Structures are given as C-alpha cells and as structure tokens.
C-alpha cells in the first residue's frame, strides 16, 4: 500500500476515533470510509488517515482487519463501485478499485480512559512519538502465520487463512482487503477527534417500570427511559496503582463506600470513562488539534463530543459534577457534554477555557518545545472548534441485556419509529450519520451554519418513518435548538413530552452553568496533574 504524501499533508484528513472496536465507534469509522471514497466533493488526491483507538492491541488488530475488509468491499463490489466500473467501461478504460483503497490508511493506538496515566501516555505518543498499524489478524484477532496475506512478510507460497486480508485480486477470504501494517508514522496534526468511547454504568432494569412505560408511552419510554438501574457511587481504582488486565477488560469497580482511604480525590467511573478521560486527552492533544492544514488556513481541528438524546437537566447537579451521588450518572455525563460544548466559544467562558485550549499549557506541548524549540515556535496555532452530536437510539451493547430482550427492544424501536419518532436509527451504521457528517464537512460550512459559535447546535442522527437517516438539530433544555430563543418554539419534531421552550432567562442560566462546568473541570484537571506528577 502506498504511503500518503506526508510532506504535503494538507491533502490528508487525519481523524481519530475512540472506542473504535465496536458499536458506534466502529460504525463511524466504516461510514467515514464509505462517504470519503464515494463523496463527490472529495478530491481524488485526498487521503483519509484513520487513527483507531481501542483498549488493547488485540482489539486494535481485529478492528483494523475488519475495516480493511470493509474498505475493499466498498471499493470493489459496492453499488458505488459498480457504477464507477460501468462508467469506466463505457469510456473505454479499466476501473481499478486499488486506487480508491490506497487513499485510506489505518493507524492503531490504545488507551484506557479510566487510567489517566494511560491517557497521558497516549497523548505523548501521538504528539511526540510515532504510531503505526498492526498486521492483519484472523477471525479471532490472533496473528496470522508468518508469510500470510495481509502481513508484511507476505509470500505467495503460504496457505491463506479464510479470514485473511489478501493482496490478490479475486481473493476468496471472507474479509478481503489490501495492504499491510504501517510503522513509524509521525502525525503532523489532527483534523478531527471523535469522542465516541464510553460506558453506561448500568446494572440492569427495573422491569416493572420498564414494562409499564413501554406499554403506555412507548416513544417516551424508549427515548428518555427512567427505568435503568445505575451502579451508584462507582469510582475508578487508584490511579497511582491502576493496571488494566492483559485483555484490556476491567474487574468490577469499587463503590465509593468501599474505597480505601487514599490521598487521591475520588474519580467517578462513568464520569471518567465518558467525560474526564476524553477531556484530559483532548487537552493534551492541543499541539496537534491546533495546527491548521496549511500556513494560510484559518481553521484547525474539530473536537466532536458524543452526547445523547437522553441528556436532560433533571438530575444534573453542579455540586456533584461527577455524578457520584446521582441515580443517573450516564445521563449526567451527557448533560455535562452539552454544557461545555455549547458554551466553549462564548465570551463569558473565555477566561475559563483559555488554558484548556492553549497548547503551551499541555505536558505534551512543553515536552515538544524542549525537544525542538525552534520548530515549536514556527508552527501556527489556531484554536480548534468543539461540535456536539448524538447518535439517537440504537441497538447497543452498552446496556447488559440477554439477546432475546435485545431482539424485543429492536421491535419496539421499529414500532416507535413507524409511529413518528425521529430518534430511533436502531442500526449503529445509521446512528453514525451525524458524527460522520460533522467529521467530513468543511470547517467553513459548519462555522457558517453555527454563526461562528453564536448559534451552537446539537446535531443528532435521525430517521424518517421508513428508516432513511438524516442529520437533525436537537433541542437542548434551556438552550433551545441553537441558543436563539426568538425561534425556539418553531421546531416541534422529536421534542420530549412537556418540553418547555427556551427563554432568555433559561438561556442565560445555561451559559452561566456552562462557565461553572468549565471552571470545575479545569480545576479537576490541574489537580490530577499534581496528583499524578505528570510533568515527571
């Protein structure tokens, strides 16, 4: 596989996705590939560089193997490929699917968002080190034998595993793809980071409440459920002693009441996995996110927070920003994302967010400056933009349910979509439409749509009654659809029952709360820098 022209990196799109190994994260990666190679506005010489972030090397290898297979199918035998092949034949030339495949590249990294040291290590690797892509894997994620197709040691004489990724045209592998691992890649910047990793923190359902609500009010019950049971007070293990298992999985987290006495401040499990781990990671990646694609460009990276349609204000408390006492810690973290995303560019929060967006305030940036002071000074710095999205309601593994109940839930989702709910894409690939659109749309277009930060919106993945997906603005309690209270009552589709139109007072309260959230998060970040001694 030919390397991208790194020396002219303005022709690249560098996109990082957390939680890329399954569910929504994987679907975003797959959809980005499809829309990148089929998009009529994508220049033919542009390359997509996907940095897939998982929790273990095994998951990284298997994820990239699957995506390579998806890429080859999209380029060789999809409906779009067939159209291009027919067009080429009519013009008397040959359609080469390899050309499209060679414009997409995969790099793999690992992080555990509940291990802050792991977060800092990853950021340092991305900013000051190099990254690569592992060899192809078998169906179970294991390494292929030496010389197998899809590995750097490829040899024609080696028998191909049925799930191998082959270089040969006409390969019969079930996951056909092209190319092998890259290594020693130094990232020039990050154009997009999609923060899709997260956990629900639920232990099960209150079945009586669930059945009653679904029977009497299925749309509300499946869009804003109140019957999920959370692991209240769950905290991460001691950060100074944290060590994930070799498989990347964690044991049960202790409750706050079970936590042994420690000098470390408590760190909520759901809060850390959904918000704070990402928050620290993004800050430490500012040296990459703040770099424009060219010296003349006025825009830099995009930070895409993955909120939820369930992010209501009922349970959120600024006095319990980590949700340690909340019965709904997951919903609280999503509401927190709404606050910080929609207020990040407002004049009232400028002082609170200034240090967060400053690359010179990062550990990675200071280290880079020490290594090469001249280069650090010569690089242009442009503040990246934050965008807010949500995937609607889809079938996810985030809630632990038996397979039979998942099947029943999908049927209920189909019914509520049929009767008019726009928030039930059901399929993760359809749920990825909004974050993919944000990732691939030009910065200038998005900024015009949001009036350069004055009309920030929450962009949701929606469908019509027949399941055709689309991107739709979503009402945010207290903020409205885009912070403009004059027309907050015009759009009614997809509203929660008894929703109240945003007012001037609620809009002001939302802005004030956003500033408080930013202040607390920045204080917590600096506290943990001291606790962990990350400068050393």
**Which residues are known catalytic residues?**
307, 330, 334
Hey, which residues does 51 pair with through a beta bridge? 16, 107
Q: What is the DSSP letter of 274?
A: I
Query: How far is residue 507 from each of residues 41, 311, 474, 514, measured CA to CA in Å?
Result: 37, 16, 15, 11
**Overall size of the chain counted in residues:** 536
Q: 302-306 and 192-195: which strand pairing?
A: parallel
Q: Residue 255 forms beta bridges with which residues?
A: 234
- Distance, in Å, from the CA atom of 513 to the CA atom of 239, rounded to the nearest integer, reads 29
Question: In whole angstroms, what is the distance from residue 470 CA to residue 62 CA?
Answer: 30
Give the DSSP H or E segment for 516: helix 504-532
Sequence-ordered list of residues with C-beta below 8 angstroms from that of 253, at least 6 positions apart, any chain: 231, 234, 235, 236, 237, 269
The CA-based diameter of the chain, rounded to the nearest angstrom, is 75
Residue 188 buriedness (CB in 10 A; 0-12 / 13-18 / 19+): middle
Q: Cα-atom radius of gyration of the chain, to the nearest Å?
A: 23
What is the per-residue burial (b if ≥16 Cβ within 10 Å, else e) of 243-253?
A: ebeeebebeeb
- DSSP string covering 96-137, please? -HHHHHTTEEEEEEE--TT-HHHHHHHHHHHHHS-BB-PPPB
- Phi and psi at residue 429, to the nearest 5°: -65, -40
Give the list of residues 6+ apart from residue 220 with CB closer than 8 angstroms, or none. Answer: 213, 496, 497
Query: Can you tell me the distance from the alpha carbon of 461 to that of 453, in angstroms, rounded to the nearest whole number?
Result: 21
Contact status, residue 290 vs residue 359, Cβ threshold 8 Å: yes
Per-residue burial over 476-504, b if 16 or more Cβ lie within 10 Å, else e, is bbbbbbbbebeebeeeeebeeeeeeebee
C-alpha distances in Å from residue 354, one per residue of 67, 110, 384, 456: 38, 28, 12, 19
Query: Element (H or E) spanning 455, and its range?
Result: none
Query: Taking the alpha carbons of 24, 467, 410, 221 in that order, is the dihedral positive or negative?
Result: positive
């Amino acid at each position: 596989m030919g390397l991208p022209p790194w020396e002219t990196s303005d022709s690249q799109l560098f996109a990082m996705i957390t939680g890329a190994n399954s569910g929504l994260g994987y679907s975003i990666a797959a959809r980005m590939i499809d829309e990148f190679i089929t998009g009529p506005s994508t220049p033919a010489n542009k390359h997509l560089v996907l940095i897939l972030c998982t929790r273990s090397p095994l998951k990284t290898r298997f994820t990239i193997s699957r995506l390579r297979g998806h890429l080859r199918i999209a380029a060789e035998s999809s409906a779009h490929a067939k159209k291009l092949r027919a067009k080429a034949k009519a013009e008397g030339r040959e359609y080469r699917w390899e050309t499209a495949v060679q414009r997409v590249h995969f790099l793999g990294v690992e992080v555990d968002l509940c291990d802050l040291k792991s977060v800092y290590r990853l950021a340092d690797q991305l900013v000051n080190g190099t990254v690569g892509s592992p060899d192809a894997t078998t169906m179970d994620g294991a390494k292929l034998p030496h010389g197998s197709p899809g590995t750097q040691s490829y040899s024609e004489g080696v028998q191909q595993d049925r799930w191998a990724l082959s270089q040969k045209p006409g390969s019969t592998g079930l996951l056909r793809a092209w190319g092998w691992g890259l290594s020693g890649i130094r990232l020039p910047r990050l154009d997009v980071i999609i923060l899709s990793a997260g956990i629900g923190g639920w232990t099960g359902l209150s079945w009586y409440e669930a059945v009653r609500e679904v029977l009497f009010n299925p749309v509300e019950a499946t869009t804003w459920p109140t019957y999920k049971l959370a692991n209240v007070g769950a905290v991460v293990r001691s950060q100074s002693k944290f060590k994930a298992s070799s498989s990347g999985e964690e044991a049960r987290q202790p409750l706050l009441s079970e936590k042994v006495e420690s000098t470390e401040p408590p760190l909520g499990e759901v809060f850390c996995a959904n918000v704070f781990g990402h928050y620290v990671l993004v800050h430490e990646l500012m040296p990459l996110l703040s770099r424009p694609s060219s010296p003349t460009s006025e825009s830099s990276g995009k930070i895409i927070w993955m909120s939820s349609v369930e992010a209501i204000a009922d349970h959120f408390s600024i006095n319990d920003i980590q949700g340690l006492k909340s019965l709904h810690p997951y919903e609280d973290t999503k509401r927190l994302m709404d606050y910080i995303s929609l207020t990040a560019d407002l004049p009232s929060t400028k002082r609170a967010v200034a240090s967060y967006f400053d690359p010179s305030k990062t550990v990675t940036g200071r280290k880079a400056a020490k290594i090469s002071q001249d280069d650090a000074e010569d690089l242009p710095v442009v503040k990246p933009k934050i965008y807010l999205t949500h995937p609607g309601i889809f079938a996810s593994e985030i809630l632990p349910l038996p397979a039979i109940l998942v099947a029943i839930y999908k049927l209920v989702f189909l019914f509520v979509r049929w009767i008019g709910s726009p928030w039930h894409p059901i399929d993760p690939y359809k749920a990825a439409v909004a974050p993919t659109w944000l990732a691939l749309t030009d910065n200038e277009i998005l900024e015009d749509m949001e009036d350069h930060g004055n009309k920030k919106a929450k962009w949701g993945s929606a469908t019509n009654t027949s399941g055709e997906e689309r991107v739709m603005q979503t009402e945010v309690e207290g903020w409205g659809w885009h912070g403009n209270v004059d027309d907050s009552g015009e759009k009614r589709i997809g509203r929660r029952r008894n929703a109240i139109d945003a007012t001037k007072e609620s809009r002001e309260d939302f802005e004030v709360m956003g500033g408080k959230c930013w202040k607390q998060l920045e204080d917590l970040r600096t506290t943990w820098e001291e606790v962990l001694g990350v400068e050393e």
